[in-house]
Structure 1
Amino acid sequence: MRDENELKIPRDRTDDYAPGAIAARQSFAREYAGSSLDHVGTYSLDPQALPGNVENFIGVAQVPIGLAGPLLVNGEHAHGDFLVPMATTEGTLVASYSRGMKLCRAAGGITTTVVDDKMQRAPVFTFPSAREARDFAGWLDEHFDEIAAAAQETTSSGRLIEIQRFFASKMLYTRFNYTTGDAAGQNMTGKATFAACAWIKQNYPGELHFLLEGQFATDKKTSVVNMLHTRGKRVVAEITLPAALVEEQMHVSTDKLFSARLKGQLGAFMSVTNNNGNHSANGITAIFIATGQDVANVAESSALYGFSELLPNGDFYASVTLPSLIVATYGGGTGLATQRECLELLGCYGTGGVHKLAEIIAATVLAGELSLGSAVVAEEWVQAHDDLGRNRP
């Protein structure tokens, strides 16, 4: 049995991202596991840029990045053709999304609309009785400006826009909703809400206790509340596809595509999923990894409302609504070397780019939904994976 001290990961309290500290951890890992770190330990980024992104740094995970596109977007923030970087190890994924993008481009492009934008922290307040909880809700309304000012002291880009209230027993569950600029904003809203709650506790005349997060923001978990009330960006992507174009490029008729859509709707309902689409998580995850997003946010970001219509002339209207897409173009992992390059490839890095990125992602998702849906109906899905998705000795 190994001594506990032998298993202590080496650290340097003066500069834990210095070459010596990194080399010590690499050596420790090699000796402990008896394996090589030749590839993990080879990288082009500057470790001194990593504080705030990772601890106990030893190297990098290299994920292949492919280009999908061109993707034609007719958005309010994203205009024109885009080459979309997708980081994945799943064969056929980039090809499938490119196929859907080709179809949509031939149809005139995908229209995108950001319809809502908010990030929240959800403190729960506890009182001696339900009536006192009800009275506190009214007090929140009366003092909203002071509460917002206390939150504002902690951030230059975040703004408290509303406090939603949900009663249960003698507790009031709240959602402090913010706009967060070009940042995703989970940490920002946590700090701002803590300051707001401190002001509330100091100034409220009655007795109360609060917990900063009552699990009602459902951070990094899918939930109905976020799908209904938005977490991150709420984005719609839509397109009308001519019947002849679908037949020509996807080898399927629009009436069969719509019939399959109805069957899928029932299947999604029966399985009680957060998504009545095909594979939104695929495209979202691949773009998240490439552009430095918090990948765990795929848990809520992949939620999708899909809607389609078979029009009287046989054309096919298709849309996706992403109700809780959490993205950033500033902060977090977006400033790291390769992630920044991918954001710059999309023209989204930095201030003012977040809604553009959200529109590009939504359009990408719609293209992927159309591609996979068509492949299933045309019975080309399995063959595509056999042709492009096999990587075995």
Structure 2
Amino acid sequence: MKQDKLDNYTSDSDIVNDLASGKRKPHDLYATLQDKSRAARILRMYLESSTGSKLEHIGSATIDYKDTLSRNAENVIGAAQVPLGYAGRLKVEGDYAKGTYPILFATTEGRLVAGASRALAATLKFGRMTTRVIRDGMARDILVRCEDLSEAAALNAFVNGAEGFKLLQDEFSKHTRHGSLSSVECYPAGRDVHLRFIATTGAAMGMNMVTIASSSAARALVSFMNESRKMHLEVLGESGNMCADKKPSYIDVLRGRGVSVIAEVRIPVERLKQAFGCDPNAMLELEKAKNHIGSELAGSNAFNAHVANTLAAMYIAYGQDPAQIVEGSQAITDVAIKSGFFYLWLYMPAIEVGTIGGGTARETQKEALGLLNLGDLGSDASRKAFAEIVAATCAANELNLLAVEASSTLAKSHSELKRG
């Protein structure tokens, strides 16, 4: 059936019947109907009729369905609403983030916003928050299979040389306008060689950008080696898991992925007591026993109190990829008391964020980013500033949870929430 006939002469109920009978598939609606919001409505009608449920709130969305289909999701039926809370104002002195920023959390976890609000208020009034970007580069591992160990060793030597890197760099640059290849790390394992490409990505988080360019560069490398060196190489996989994307891994802790940031909170000991109502020495002892010994016993790479909570709330609010909380939460918290000040440091090696692309184009997330006034959201500086804001907020929230646990009020605060 032609598109115009389907649009003008086929009723919603007829299409629902076609879906129920299997005559049409959900993706057919979006391929054939010009009005994508109508496609979403019809698919909701089908789900309602087949299950007896109502999707009133799911359908009450303000998203641009056409744009969403092209960048975010398929077979869209609406949107899932998550409560959005104002946690307060963060003041930070960073390399890129310099000023005071309103912080939003999208979360369903009670007391998370309140806890962050207390910490942000305390650091704003009494403390000092500093951040530094120590590394930047999105990574993608292209897995190359060789015929034998000799080929693997030869490939490793070539890539580590100037000629090999130039070949990869030149090919990489042909496939991206915004990315720039910084380095390629070789990790041979038997006859396989993992090529870990690291690149800067402008304002975008850049995982897809780096994947496309890295894959093309690796294929050019394979062709060159097979033709000029009479080797027998092939690209076995476009992600060999040494990236490492959305998985716990120590390579991300050591080498970083995305923006690596260290945040420092400094607050006078007496002001800490006033703001949080707890003993700073108890916080000090708890932090070591919990974040370091406890995490070591558990075999965890995350030596922190609850960085994942803050990342989840901010990533959803600001249109980032929530799955990258996995490597992002592999952060290391440390504390000390020196010269009358309580210090908290937070090392976050893998803050994978962007201020353009992906979920940042969605309507509510775009508004949330706009509140931060980061300037040109298409700039590399805006992405790094946002990464510093994320790290600083995580550090403040670490301070709060340590205070809550050191004063034995965690269970009490959660027991006051509505249950069921």
Both structures adopt the same fold (TM-score exceeding 0.5): yes
Number of the residue aligned with 2:219: 198
Moved more, 313-322 or 51-60: 313-322
CA contact (8 A) 1:184 1:328 kept: yes
Q: Distance in 1 between matches of 2:86 and 2:53?
A: 33
What does the per-residue CA deviation read over 1:305-355, in whole Å, with 9 as the maximum and x for residues that have no partner?
1111122x3422111011111101000010111110000011237212101
User: Given the alignment, which residue of 236, 241, 262 partners 2:288?
Assistant: 262
Shift of 1:258: 0.8
Q: Distance in 1 between matches of 2:38 and 2:392?
A: 45
List aligned pairs for 1:6-17, cutoff 5 A: 8-9=25-26, 11-15=29-33
1:208 and 2:233 equivalent? yes
Number of the residue aligned with 1:29: 47
CA contact (8 A) 1:72 1:108 kept: no
Question: Which structure: greater helix fraction?
Answer: 2
Number of the residue aligned with 1:371: 400
CA contact (8 A) 2:319 2:366 kept: yes
What letter corresponds to residue 305 of structure 1 in structure 2? I
1:187 and 2:208 equivalent? yes
Number of the residue aligned with 2:258: 232
Structure 2, gaps ≥5 residues long = 1-18
Number of the residue aligned with 1:385: 414
Q: Distance in 2 between matches of 1:376 and 1:133?
A: 52
List aligned pairs for 1:8-87, cutoff 5 A: 8-9=25-26, 11-15=29-33, 18-50=36-68, 51-87=70-106
What letter corresponds to residue 114 of structure 1 in structure 2? V
Q: Distance in 2 between matches of 1:184 and 1:16?
A: 31
Q: SS at the partner of 2:311?
A: helix
List aligned pairs for 1:1-393, cutoff 5 A: 5=22, 8-9=25-26, 11-15=29-33, 18-50=36-68, 51-140=70-159, 141=161, 142-204=163-225, 205=229, 206-211=231-236, 212-264=238-290, 265-311=292-338, 313-348=339-374, 350-352=377-379, 353-387=382-416, 390-392=417-419
What letter corresponds to residue 194 of structure 2 in structure 1? Y
What letter corresponds to residue 215 of structure 1 in structure 2? N
Q: Distance in 1 between matches of 2:146 and 2:250?
A: 26
What letter corresponds to residue 336 of structure 2 in structure 1? E
Q: Distance in 2 between matches of 1:8 and 1:341?
A: 34
CA RMSD after TM alignment: 1.8
Structure 1, gaps ≥5 residues long = none
| Aligned residue-pair number | 389
Shift of 1:32: 1.5
What does the per-residue CA deviation read over 1:342-373, in whole Å, with 9 as the maximum and x for residues that have no partner?
00011237212101110110010001000011
Q: SS at the partner of 1:13?
A: helix
What letter corresponds to residue 306 of structure 2 in structure 1? H
CA contact (8 A) 2:128 2:267 kept: no
Q: Distance in 1 between matches of 2:270 and 2:34?
A: 61
Q: Distance in 2 between matches of 1:69 and 1:124?
A: 45
Q: SS at the partner of 1:39?
A: coil
Q: Distance in 2 between matches of 1:259 and 1:134?
A: 49
Q: Distance in 2 between matches of 1:181 and 1:47?
A: 27
Q: 1:17 to 1:184 in 2, by over 3 A?
A: farther
Q: Distance in 2 between matches of 1:149 and 1:92?
A: 51
Q: Distance in 1 between matches of 2:34 and 2:216?
A: 31
Shift of 1:144: 1.2
Shift of 1:108: 3.5
What letter corresponds to residue 180 of structure 1 in structure 2? T
What letter corresponds to residue 397 of structure 2 in structure 1? G
CA contact (8 A) 1:22 1:58 kept: yes
Shift of 1:179: 0.7
Q: 1:49 to 1:7 in 2, by over 3 A?
A: closer
CA contact (8 A) 1:284 1:365 kept: yes
Q: Distance in 1 between matches of 2:197 and 2:30?
A: 39
Q: Distance in 2 between matches of 1:100 and 1:377?
A: 15
